[in-house]
Structure 1
Amino acid sequence: MNKKQLMIYSSALTFVLALSGCGNKEEVKNPPKDAPKENNSNQANRDSPYNFTSFDLDVTYKDNKTFDVDYENEKDGMEAKLTDGVKDENLSGDDAMERLKPIFSDLKITSESKDGEVTKQIIDKFNLKEDFTAFDLEVQFEDGSEKEYKIKP
C-alpha cells in the first residue's frame, strides 16, 4: 500500500469515527417517567398522560414557512424536535419536550377520535394560524394503530 492510499484510508476512518461520536441532538435525556413507549403489543398503558408513541406534525404556510413537531418514544429512547418557522424557533431534545409535554398532556385524542376533532385540537393546542397551505399529522397510538390526518385548504 502506498502513502497516498494509506492517507485516503486513514482520512476515511477518521471521518467515520468522528461521525459516530456525534450525539443525537433530538434525544430527550429526561423524558417524562410515565410517557408510553412504543411496543409491539396491542396492550395500552392506561397510566400514561397521553396515549401515543409517535407524533409527526407538518404544517406549511405561505412563503414556505413551516411548523414541525417530531416526537418518538421507543424502547431505546425518546426524541423530540419542534421547528416553528413562523416564530423562527428551533428546539430539540429536552428543550422541545419541555414545550411539548403540557400540550401533549392536554390532548384528548385516541385512535377512535374523529378526524375533525383531532385536527381542531391540534390547531387549538399548538395555537396554529389557520391560514396554512397544508396540514399533515401522523400519529402512532400506544395500542399500535397508526392514523394520518390531512387538511389541504
Structure 2
Amino acid sequence: MSKKLFLLPIVALALAACGDDEEVTTAPDNAPTEQDTNNDEVTTSTDAPYAFAKFSFDAEYSATENIEADYSNESSGVEASYENDKTGERLNGDDAFAYLEPIFENFTFDSSTGNDEVVDEIVQAFNLETNYTQLEIDITFDDGSEREYTHTP
C-alpha cells in the first residue's frame, strides 16, 4: 500500500511535465478564434489583428532541413511554434509567438488574395531562400474559409 502512495505523486508529476509547451500565454486580445463545435463554426472579428485563426507553413529544403511555423488561435487558447533546421532555431509558446507576431502584423493578404501573392508574401516575410524543394501553406481565415497553397520552384 505504501508503495502505491509513494508512486502516485511521481506519476502525477510526470504527467504534468508532459504538457503542451506550444501554449501561448500572451496572445492578442482581439485575435480571431476558431470555435471547436460540432459544425466547426468559426467566429469572425472585424478588428482582429490577423486575417486568420490558423496558419502553418513548411518549406522543405532537403530530407533533414525544413523551416516550419504553426499558429492556432482556438477557443481553448493560442498555440505557436517555429522551427528552422538550417539555423537550429526551435521556438514554442510565447517565444514563438513573439517571433511570429511582427511578421503576422505585416501580412496584407486575406481569403480573396491570389495564390501567387500569398506565397510571395510569405516567402518574403520569413526571408525564405527560394531553393526549397516544396512550400506548403495552410491557412484558416477569420471568415471561416480554409486555403491550402503548394509551391514548387
Could you state the TM-score of these two structures normalised by the residue count of structure 2?
0.85
> Deviation of residue 86 (structure 1)?
1.2
Match of 2:107 in 1: 107
> Deviation of residue 59 (structure 1)?
0.7
> Deviation of residue 109 (structure 1)?
1.4
Please identify, of 40-49 and 134-143, the stretch whose mean Cα deviation from structure 2 is larger: 40-49
Q: Distance in 2 between matches of 1:70 and 1:45?
A: 21
Gaps of 5+ in 2: none
Q: Distance in 1 between matches of 2:71 and 2:89?
A: 16
Query: Larger C-alpha radius of gyration, 1 or 2?
Result: 1
1:127-146 to structure 2, matched below 5 A, reads 127-146=127-146
Q: Distance in 2 between matches of 1:91 and 1:16?
A: 27
1:32 and 2:32 matched: no
1:122 and 2:122 matched: yes
The list of structure 1 runs, each at least 4 consecutive aligned residues, that deviate by more than 6 angstroms after superposition, is 13-16
Q: How many residues align?
A: 147
Q: Distance in 2 between matches of 1:42 and 1:111?
A: 14
Change in Cα spacing, 1:27 to 1:104, as seen in structure 2 (3 Å) is same
Match of 2:15 in 1: 20
> Deviation of residue 64 (structure 1)?
2.4
> Deviation of residue 142 (structure 1)?
1.2
SS in 2 for 1:32: coil
Q: Distance in 1 between matches of 2:9 and 2:131?
A: 48
Q: Distance in 1 between matches of 2:43 and 2:73?
A: 16
Match of 1:55 in 2: 55
- Identical aligned residues as a percent: 35
Could you state the TM-score of these two structures normalised by the residue count of structure 1?
0.85
Q: Distance in 2 between matches of 1:149 and 1:42?
A: 21
1:48-87 to structure 2, matched below 5 A, reads 48-62=48-62, 64-87=64-87
